[in-house]
A and B are shown apart, each in its own frame.
Chain A
Amino acid sequence: MDLSVILSGQLLASVLVLASLYALVAIGLNLVYGTMRLLNVAHGELVMLGGYVAYWGFAQWGISPLISALFAMAVAAAAGALIYIAVIRRLFRSRFQARVEANSLLVFFGISIIVQNVTALAFTANNRGYSYLDDVIAIGDARIAANRLAALAVASVACFACALFFRFARSGMAMRAIIQHREAAALVGIDVDRINLQVFALGFALAALAGALISMTQTISPFMGFPFTVSGFVIIILGGLGNLPGSIFGATILAAVEVYGVTLISPSFRSILVYGVFIAALVLRPQGLLGRPIKAR
């Protein structure tokens, strides 16, 4: 394999685009985990839904996916809030406290199955795609489609906005406080329940945004969600559970592994590569490359 290909700007551009999208997915997942210790196995389905909203908006009414993204975010936020109120709160209050973790996994698992099949019912299981901002733009020696550039731009802005939110906004700081120490946060007067609600809304919205952006760059299908869930988990493990800036770091690493790995081996190994990193990360270094040492036991 030609070294110049590997070092090219082309691949670097691919890594950046993928990393920015992955970061969005991971931040949402990490937020929910960090504040509530819940692993949302259905997170990828939100990405998928965001993609379908954007697809539908464009295919039916010619609305730009960049606009539909906002709508998708709103819908996802509402869904997140609903799920928190109707499902998660109930779990937290159940009699079987020792099994909240296990039960939450099952619940999210069930939700993911429901969402996948409802979508398949509504849209059929076939791949869907559309063309938007297809023109290729040249930057240096990289040729990149305008839609991917747009995805990178929007995703980066969103990540930056998140960073600002967590740093300066009251809710954002409250979220960080809860991630650090839930009981202490409650003791200083933070309304943990309300923040949890916001966390779900925000986390879901970010995933939907990622999905809308992704739908510009690749075909979508009702069952595309799970690989994103796995990627999300790999990233939050690499970057550290509850470590929000770490998610961006982890996203970059995973994107790099994927893009360069696929280039070196073959595209059909992509899944094995991602899952392989996933398993290795969980088993070898559950605290992440950046995280505080926690034992996964």
Chain B
Amino acid sequence: MTLLRLENVGKSYGGVAALRGLSFAVDPGEIVGLMGANGAGKTTAFSLIAGTQRPSDGEIWFDGRRIDGQPAYAAARMGIARTFQIVRPFGGLRVIDNLVVAALYGHARERSRGVAEDRAREILGEVGLARDAARLAQTLTLAGRKRLEIARAIATGPRLLLLDEVLAGLTASEVVEALDLIRAIHRRRNLTLVVIEHVMRALTQLCNRIVVLHHGEKITEGSPAEILVDQRVIDSYIGATKR
């Protein structure tokens, strides 16, 4: 049974259609990539799923329930967590408190602060921020903030995790570390992932399936191998590869 399903989802701002007739489904445990040039509508799709915006058309189903138009906090409580393209840490709070809030209010709904803190420490260890637990979040480097963004999303105890360009701005070695981390999280926590990325290597290495968007519409979807040789994808995004 699919975990997430978009049916004919559209979003317009004034006269401009950011998304049109988008349909795809994600099964539990999959890692699905969302790919396309800037302005193709990827982050808009995330915003619609996560509840930050409401769709103009179409339906979004999560775990058998219709969720389009729900506010963001409701989506989080249902088990949908997201990271932001431009990270939004709670800068004035300590790193660990960033996660504690998520653990208390998210899908996990931890009962007490004490339990929430324990879980937070555990997650910080997983993402490699254990030493920074007591620091103010705003003192972290960009790579650290990206880890925090992921950690905070995980702290809500989600079933579906939406990762929005988490690799952007990282050095090559940081990308490798991040990919390992994402894979480990996916495995260890039995999560379902939808990933927006521009780094092709990440998409091909990480995802079972990739959905390709262009100017707000889905032009194709398939396995990484299929996508790489699809003419439409090459025309709109990759460009001719020499491989």
Contacts and interface: CB of A to CB of B under 8 A. Distances in A.
Nearest to A99: B92
A139 to B, nearest CB: 44
A98 interface: yes
Nearest to A292: B14
B125 interface: no
A266 to B, nearest CB: 43
Nearest to B91: A98
Interface of B: 91-92
Contacts of A98: 91-92
A109 to B, nearest CB: 22
Interface residues of A, number: 2
A98 B92 CA distance: 9
Interface in A83-98: 96, 98
Interface string A72-116: 000000000000000000000000101000000000000000000
A240 to B, nearest CB: 15
A9 B70 CA distance: 52
A214 B91 CA distance: 46
A62 to B, nearest CB: 57
Contacts of B91: 98
B123 to A, nearest CB: 24
A98 B138 CA distance: 11
A43 B160 CA distance: 49
B31 to A, nearest CB: 32
Contacts of A96: 92
3 contacts: A96-B92, A98-B91, A98-B92
Query: 3 closest A-B pairs (Cβ-Cβ)?
Result: A98-B91, A98-B92, A96-B92
Contacts of B92: 96, 98
Nearest to A95: B138
